[in-house]
Structure 1
Amino acid sequence: MPRLLIVHHTPSPNLQAMLEAVISGATTEEIEDVEVVRRAALEATPSDALAADGYVLGTPANLGMMSGALKVFFDLAYYPCLDSTKGRPYGLYVHGNNDTTGAVRGIESVTTGLGWEKATPNVSVTGEPGKEDLQACWELGATVAAGLMP
């Protein structure tokens, strides 16, 4: 069964709402035969990444960058995954108070280096996520998961 790994750093209610929307989309009843695994960024391991067939990444934009927790995940998983995960799909959601540009740029640099393929547009939200933002998160989760269905 294909596996979707959701790696997230969720320190705020806004990010919690976005994560819950992603999970809801990825686990909707229309998605069949895809295992969805959720890991906090500081708990996710290279083995988790290697065992996954696709990824959803979630982070706050901290001081214009991805969270340190997501950076730790990438630091640990990058070289073990480098040759083994090329071409795998991913989706990204980012929340910031002012700007998410630097965080998105940093993550896209890492995923480009890994050879991962963006499966759907990024969801970048500043301020409190509205109904449309949460719907975009739902669609992100559903799109990445649906792309893994056998």
Structure 2
Amino acid sequence: MAEAAHAAAAAEGRAILLPAAKANPKDLLAAEGYIFCAPENLAALSGVMKEFFDRCYYPVLGQLNGRPYAQMICAGSDGENAARQLARIATGWRLKDVQPPLIVNTSAQTPEAILAEKEIKDTDLARCAEVGAALGAGLAMGVF
């Protein structure tokens, strides 16, 4: 999902793809906008994504105001709580939500399905690419 969004954003201009575990406050400060992509685990953001926000939240507080963001959640059920959690963090940073959350539902409900490697459908990857293209184009045109 993140790779599809990144490729489309990069086609519109400069884009960097970083895993949450490696991203840091300097990366956030250097960016003009953000696409946060995370799995939902146990009806919440994944631990590594939450740790990213915990680690970076205060060092950039008050310095990202008004920057655009979008979010993509990969969920086994509805993904709404993870999206709400991410939106609350973005609100604290005073980021500008530029589109509704994209939630890709894998419908993984059995133990076997939950533990299996997930395959994202081409139609969902196309939706992810649309998120990247929209944010990339908006930044390139100065819309945000």
Q: Give the TM-score normalised by structure 2.
A: 0.83
> Residue by residue, what CA displacement relative to the aligned partner does 1:79-123 show, whole Å, maximum 9, x if unpaired?
122111000001111001122011001001100111101122211
Amino acid at match of 1:142: A
Identify the residue that residue 83 of structure 1 maps to in structure 2.
62
Identify the residue that residue 136 of structure 1 maps to in structure 2.
127
Q: Which runs of 5+ in 1 are unaligned?
A: 1-17
**Which of 17, 24, 27 is the equivalent residue of 2:7?**
24
Amino acid at match of 2:50: K
The answer to whether structure 1 residue 114 and structure 2 residue 93 are counterparts is yes
More helix by share: 2
Amino acid at match of 2:9: A
Check the 8 A contact 1:61/1:99 in 2, yes or no. Answer: no
- Quote the RMSD (CA, aligned, Å): 1.4
Q: Give the TM-score normalised by structure 1.
A: 0.80
Check the 8 A contact 1:120/1:143 in 2, yes or no. Answer: no
Aligned residue pair count: 129
More strand by share: 1
> Residue by residue, what CA displacement relative to the aligned partner does 1:51-100 show, whole Å, maximum 9, x if unpaired?
11100100000000001111111112111221110000011110011220
Separation (CA, whole Å) in 2 of partners of 1:125 and 1:115: 25
Check the 8 A contact 1:87/1:117 in 2, yes or no. Answer: yes
Task: State the percentage of identical aligned residues.
Answer: 36
Check the 8 A contact 2:3/2:17 in 1, yes or no. Answer: no
**Which of 15, 36, 47 is the equivalent residue of 1:68?**
47
Check the 8 A contact 1:119/1:143 in 2, yes or no. Answer: no
